[in-house]
Structure 1
């Protein structure tokens, strides 16, 4: 079994390195003052979007969180694909926004997106859409925030079913 495991890990190593490089590129593009300024300006809006679209999967008595399905629905309703984002990458953007957890096999926390993780996930969507450098990420984040605001307004205006 150990030799087979070693062979499997060796075969997966290039994909792991590619994913690691993509995350490093994302952090380099995302963690800049211009993007931070957008997030500061729209902090209340992003919190409202998170609150409206998240929480439907949260069990009673637990703190509200956003699940993957809620994140995917939001991106679909916001027409995130108009930024160049491929909706099939929504789970990857969700995961890019999530913080690593110490025990991802014995708890569900790794599937429960907090507000801060949501903000990172939105940045990941913009990054994947723009295949970004920080200069191309800024206009994509701005456009994505507009789309999220429109989706929120539309959701609030619809009467409950």
Structure 2
């Protein structure tokens, strides 16, 4: 896993962090790099943990609406989910939920840190570091076209559809 980030804050219109991560897609294990993704827009969404209720809701909603998520020109949007889970947990999640897109393992949370979504969280009075559920649409040139922080799982697809309609 590698991530390259400069010190500028992420914002719409700026280059997205460069990365290479191991993951699992519908066809099995794969390595995905931002460099190989150039040439077509893609959705990079960060979620806290595979097989938890909110993450399952979000992933299954994306699965069910993936064929409707098209970029200008009618091509389907590539969707990549990122979590600190290991590849084995991602394989189980993809298989159990019949997911039709790729999940990436960011065990060291380097990509999450590069995107600013590895944050201090509080639950039941305890503080810990974890993923802030967030989504980034990256354009064909590798720039951030849109971003949404603190995504609500059941509203994620609607946001993606809205953003795609504005491209």
Note whether the superposition's TM-score is higher than 0.5.
Answer: no
User: Over alpha carbons, which structure has the higher Rg?
Assistant: 1
**TM-score in terms of structure 1 length:** 0.30
- Of Structure 1 and Structure 2, which has the larger fraction of its residues in strand? 2
